[in-house]
Amino acid sequence: MIKKISLLLSVLLLVAAIGWPGYQPAQAQGKSNANSNNNINDNYNYQEDERLPRGLRTAPGIEKRVENGKGLPFGWWLKLFGGGNNNNNNNDNNGTTTPAILTISGITETVGTSTATINWHTNLNATSEISYSTSSTLVATSSVVASSSALVSNHAIALSGLLPDTTYYYRLTSTAGSKTATSSINQFTTDALPIPDTNAPNIIFTIVTGIDEDSARLVWVTNEAADSKLWVSTSSPVNISGAPNASSTNLTYYHDLTATGLASTTTYYYFLSSADAALNLATTSGSFITD
């Protein structure tokens, strides 16, 4: 029994001394394999290889021992020469690392009364898809889908025809090859329509100035921007069904128009109007006598 145990220990010591079969360094297999998949070459520095334990990297004579196929346990031969590190990334032919999963991040929304633009980012170039609805469950029968097949990492999908002042729920999906990423359900609320302007401007000041024999200048001020129109007549009330004697379409607070072609020493009646952008109308009237 003792002889058998001694024989077994001798075999194990021999294996540890010569290294595990099939996991010899490239130098032991010939110089033609110096740039093989074992990632070992003439300039390889074992003392800087972080795959090895620090104690092993700093051991005296480690480089020579590795070159001679001695001194490394089987587990470390496997890590060094067994196909590289085993992680969740994939290396392409150019040596760059491709993420193993596709992720969605940086979701933002730009919202109007009937439109919205959803932006997001993926860590790989991928397609763009958004499923949205006024229902938080995003049931397929009630959801609308907008998508783009372009492979991009910065995504933007514009939505239109939305209802104002309404909450919408949406979920994003991006696909890159066999990888698919789906966001959680997010939401946004469209802007409410502006309150209609139903208030007419106030004419807070009116003056007739610059009166001479055949003209008169009329100046007035409103409390909001509005246009300017002036009618004059020798009879009252002034007929405003025709074109005004003077007008301006500029929306302004300060109004300044001049009536010309008047007769001297004559009483004239005037009618002023100002309409704001919502066409709410303010009017005033009065009279003056030419020189």
Both tokens assigned to 93: 């032919």
Average pLDDT on 178-187 reads: 95
Q: What pLDDT is attached to residue 30?
A: 38
Q: Which residue, chain included where needed, has tokens 């790989």?
A: 124
Domain assignment present for residue 235? The answer is: yes
pLDDT averaged over the chain?
80
Q: What pLDDT is attached to residue 46?
A: 58
Distance CA 53, CA 152 (A): 42
pLDDT band at residue 72 using 50, 70 and 90 as cut-offs: low
Tell how far CA 126 is from the center of its chain.
15
Domain assignment present for residue 92? The answer is: no
Both tokens assigned to 163: 């209802």
Tell how far CA 61 is from the center of its chain.
57
Together in a domain, 158 and 220:
no
- The answer to pTM > 0.85 is no
pLDDT at 53 over 90: no
Average pLDDT on 156-160 reads: 97
Domain that holds residue 217: 203-289
Together in a domain, 182 and 222:
no
The DSSP letter of residue 9 is H
Distance CA 107, CA 118 (A): 7
Residue type for 238, please? V
Both tokens assigned to 197: 């302007």
Domain assignment present for residue 177? The answer is: yes
pLDDT band at residue 76 using 50, 70 and 90 as cut-offs: low
The HSE-up count of residue 10 (CA atoms within 13 Å, CB side) is 6
Together in a domain, 172 and 223:
no
* End-of-domain residue from the set 189, 216, 234: 189
Is cis: bond before 237, omega within 30 of 0? yes
Phi and psi (nearest 5°) for 204? -100, -5
Together in a domain, 168 and 115:
yes
Phi and psi (nearest 5°) for 74? -55, -45
Distance CA 219, CA 205 (A): 8
Total count of domains within the chain:
3
Distance CA 177, CA 151 (A): 10
Both tokens assigned to 90: 């994939």
Domain assignment present for residue 198? The answer is: no
Domain assignment present for residue 196? The answer is: no
Average pLDDT on 264-269 reads: 96
Average pLDDT on 237-257 reads: 96
Distance CA 61, CA 1 (A): 38
Both tokens assigned to 8: 């077994």
Both tokens assigned to 283: 């009017």
Give the residue with greater pLDDT, 12 vs 212: 212
3-state secondary structure 171-215: EEEEEECCEEEECCCEEEECCCCCCCCCCCCCEEEEEEECCCCCE
